[in-house]
Chains A and B, each alone.
Chain A
Amino acid sequence: MAEEQLVTFSLGSEEFGVDIMCVQEIIRIPPITRVPKAPTYVEGVINLRGNVIPVISLRSRFSMARVEETDLSRIIVLQVKTKVFGIRVDAVTEVLRLASEAIEPPPPIALGMDAQFIRGVGKIGERLLILLELDQIMGGE
């Protein structure tokens, strides 16, 4: 039975998942350097062991209100094709396996956010997991 392994995280009350194969590492929030004139959803750049990588604020990408950093805030460092970038999330929740049948295509009206960022919705009992289309998060076409 085909299944996917996902890293799940939360933004406010909603839960999201990304393919674990794209996740390079999960780090605490280091000092972020703002980049003037960059797109608004780019929070800035960080130093990841000598490499400068951009960090995307998912809250800003999904037009959600900004929140203060907490102890649980993390940056998930992703590698999508050749691009390495971080996404800032409120908290990383767990790593889980999800059967492919439990994933449905994105609903037409997607929870008030751009449908282009959503690959599908996963169901685990009563929980709904929004699976992200990572290609689109970082610029996209």
Chain B
Amino acid sequence: MSDDGDKTMDIDLGEFLGFYLLDSSEQIERLGAGLLQLEKEGGNIGLINDLFRSAHSLKGASGTMGFTPIVAMTHAAEDLLDRLRQGKIEVSPELIDVLLAVTDRVKEMLSQVEQHQEISIGFEDLVSSMRALLTGEKPLVSKNTPLAQAEPQQEEAARVIFVPLDFSLSEAEAENMSDAHMMGHGVYQIDVTLAPETLMKAVRAVMATQRLEGMGTVIKILPSVEDLEASNSETFSLLVLCDEPVEEIRKELLEVSELVAVQVNDYRVSDERVAEAGAEATRPVETVRPSQEIPVESETIVPVSVVPVAVAVPVPVPVPINQAVGGESNAPVHTIRVDTVRMDNLINLVGEMVITRTRLVQIGSDLKAQYSTDGMVNNLNEANVYLGRLMNDLQESVMRLRMVAIGTVFSRFPRLVRDLAKKTGKEMELILKGEDTELDKTVVEVIGDPLMHLIRNSVDHGIESPEERRAAGKPELGTITLDAYHEGNHIAIIISDDGAGLDLVKIRGLAVERGLIGEKEELSDSDISQLIFLPGFSTAETVTDISGRGVGMDVVKKALTNLGGLVDITTRKGKGTTFTIRLPLTLAIIQALLVEVGEEIYAVPLSSVLETLLVKLDDIKTVGGLPMVQLRGNTLPLISLQEKFDLPTPESTSSEVYVVVVGFGEKALGLIVDELRGQQEVVIKSLGDFLNNLPGIAGATILGDGKVTLILDVGSLIQDVLVKKIS
């Protein structure tokens, strides 16, 4: 009648696929984390409600997109959670297991969706095990039980008070309505609350309208569909003519996904006027109580509450409409999603501006030299100084855009530890700290795997079995702590367990046995613990599928070293082991030592520079074709960058050369250079696919003068020399 234009609104679902995927994976994450929490605090009704809501909106969104397998699974999960919150069943390990399995399965399905494949993964098994749990429910507790009274406050907060709205009807509409009223048709105001952060709100409104059109006539929708999409409002109201029972209307609407609460109230023609007055002032709502003609069924379904009682109790407190219906979900949005490509582009541009600014400064000082008395030149230089300050701030702000909380990495570990604990029969909990600690996106992306290895290691080798722990006088529940905090320009990540500690004697013995160290070699405790990072080193007597076959730890070490990171171990027998990882905050910017070789400048990552020396040419001896120098009793192999990089031999030779001692892992090497140019922060740039795999070159950077400078790959230089040494 009034909104046929809206009904025909055509929606291309493909466009929303990206949104859907993002949103769904977030819901899945939330579900996964929530389930783990639920396992610990079974009776937490708020948590169950949260989970229910996540499952519900996942179901809704999947339904809209037409992914039936996901709908089927989430629907069953929703049923389970529903029983749970009604107190009809209790949290059990089996229940958590099956629900976690559901999250895993949905994740797999989502990845199929993402790759534009048909969902081919089965789901029937999980649905039937969920059904089995459902039927195994406890004897029914009747609806209006103490449960409702047990949470009176929550109940009250959740109830929505009916406020007739001013629909600003046109004359024709008003007439229509009063006619219908006179004829004895039902006239209802339906207040609908959407799930928090619902995407495509207008779509929901249209879907709701369509449903209602099947039962009656929708006169007006407020706010209008267009306004709804644009606004932050999570509620809308419909004015409907309908002869179906109130309960039917509600049921019909609740089938639309993302509609979390529907309140159907009788709307009297006179309310139109009353509402006008009501809108002006916050006056007690009770004066506009719904009409008495039809038994009042002012009922609200809000997932937050326990099953609502059937009759609305008028609460003599005026509640502003938006607060009453939207609740806490009205919080403004504080974050936006941005494509990383755009962000990188921004960072690039800022980098360019920094370089251009350096040129301006250079021009300014040149002008100053030439026209020292000119006031204009001074003005220029002052402006340059100010610009410089702004540029620094801008650069810092832009780099901060790339910072991500490490919590995004940590969040997957509670599940890991739980599963591992089940598998090993050990009892333990994982404590997360410092999840808000921020570090660069590039680091966050690669830190996950090494951390996972270390945690697996702690579970497998660190924490003892409950019996052993009891015997050692420790609580049976082992604790693994994951912590992160900033430490200057670095981030420190701590993984500690209260397990058995490293068996240093055994490690030493094994290392000797395998010829990794000499029998008489004197090693400090920390040196011995570092041995576990050697390739092929595992003290676990039995190979398990948890921490693997001794490939884990050296991979961890290597991965961390590649990131410019360090790992320390402290261990106390019987008390536990602590791994401390120190990583640079970003991989995009590194501290580098600039060195001059002939006419060229190279950047050496400062993280691998051990020291710099001034060496007399006479002290350099050739051993087996390789130049060497004695450094504190050890021989240090040297390479000449000038030879290595085919540079012309310099004409004048001084009697001394600079040597930059670089280390990679346990190995050290001296680089012979002509000049040291000091250290600087440099932004790492790729050389592109074409020049990517050149020996000795890790990447490039652009210096203040706009010239490209190559960054040395210390690892490959050392590798190269060692190979030469052997052959």
Q: How large is the interface on A (under 10, 10 to 19, 20 to 34, 35 or more residues)?
A: 20 to 34
**B351 close to A (CB within 8 Å):** yes
A33 and B600 CA atoms in complex are apart in Å by 8
* B348 surroundings in chain A (CB, below 8 A): 49-51
Given contacts A54-B690, A83-B688, contact A33 B352 (CB under 8 A): no
* A31 surroundings in chain B (CB, below 8 A): 706-708
**A35 close to B (CB within 8 Å):** yes
Q: List residues of A (37-82) whose CB comes within 8 Å of B's CBs.
A: 37-38, 42, 44-47, 49-54
Q: List residues of B (611-654) whose CB comes within 8 Å of A's CBs.
A: 644-647
Chain A residues packing against B (C-beta within 8 Å):
30-31, 33-38, 42, 44-47, 49-54, 83-85, 138-139
* Inter-chain contact B694/A37, CB cutoff 8 Å: yes
Nearest to A49 among chain B residues (CB) is B352
Not counting A35-B710, A36-B647, A36-B710, a sample of 4 additional A-B residue pairs whose C-beta atoms are within 8 angstroms of each other reads A45-B687, A50-B685, A51-B348, A52-B702
* Inter-chain contact B708/A47, CB cutoff 8 Å: yes
* Inter-chain contact B688/A35, CB cutoff 8 Å: no
Given contacts A33-B708, A35-B710, contact A52 B686 (CB under 8 A): yes
A42 and B697 CA atoms in complex are apart in Å by 15
Contact code string B669-690 (vs A, CB < 8 Å = 1, else 0): 0000000000000000111111
Chain B residues packing against A (C-beta within 8 Å):
348-349, 351-352, 355, 600, 644-647, 685-691, 694-697, 700, 702, 706-710
* Inter-chain contact A37/B697, CB cutoff 8 Å: yes
Give the distance to chain A from B680, nearest Cβ to Cβ, in Å: 16
Given contacts A47-B708, A50-B351, A51-B348, contact A37 B695 (CB under 8 A): yes
The dominant DSSP class at the A interface is strand
A57 and B355 CA atoms in complex are apart in Å by 27
A-B contact pairs, 16 of them (CB 8 A): A33-B709, A33-B710, A35-B687, A35-B697, A37-B697, A45-B687, A50-B349, A50-B351, A50-B352, A50-B355, A51-B348, A52-B686, A52-B700, A83-B688, A84-B688, A85-B688
* A53 surroundings in chain B (CB, below 8 A): 688
Nearest to B354 among chain A residues (CB) is A50
Of listed A37, A42, A50, A54, residue having the most chain B CB within 10 A: A50
* Inter-chain contact B689/A83, CB cutoff 8 Å: yes
Nearest to B705 among chain A residues (CB) is A31
* B685 surroundings in chain A (CB, below 8 A): 50-52
* Inter-chain contact B691/A47, CB cutoff 8 Å: no
4 A-B pairs closest in CB distance: A36-B645, A33-B708, A50-B352, A50-B348
Give the distance to chain A from B639, nearest Cβ to Cβ, in Å: 13
Nearest to B707 among chain A residues (CB) is A31
Give the distance to chain B from A78, nearest Cβ to Cβ, in Å: 13
A83 and B691 CA atoms in complex are apart in Å by 11
Nearest to B644 among chain A residues (CB) is A36
* B645 surroundings in chain A (CB, below 8 A): 36-37
Across the interface, A138 reaches (CB within 8 A) one of B351, B600, B690, namely B690
* Inter-chain contact B691/A38, CB cutoff 8 Å: yes
* Inter-chain contact A30/B694, CB cutoff 8 Å: no
Across the interface, B600 reaches (CB within 8 A) one of A30, A34, A84, A85, namely A34
Nearest to B693 among chain A residues (CB) is A37
Give the distance to chain B from A83, nearest Cβ to Cβ, in Å: 7
Given contacts A49-B352, A51-B685, A52-B702, contact A35 B709 (CB under 8 A): no
* A47 surroundings in chain B (CB, below 8 A): 355, 702, 706-708
Nearest to B349 among chain A residues (CB) is A50
* Inter-chain contact A37/B696, CB cutoff 8 Å: yes
Given contacts A35-B697, A36-B645, A37-B696, contact A83 B706 (CB under 8 A): no
Given contacts A36-B697, A45-B700, contact A54 B687 (CB under 8 A): yes
Across the interface, A38 reaches (CB within 8 A) one of B349, B351, B686, B694, namely B694
* Inter-chain contact A54/B646, CB cutoff 8 Å: no
* Inter-chain contact A45/B351, CB cutoff 8 Å: no
* A46 surroundings in chain B (CB, below 8 A): 708
* Inter-chain contact B687/A52, CB cutoff 8 Å: yes
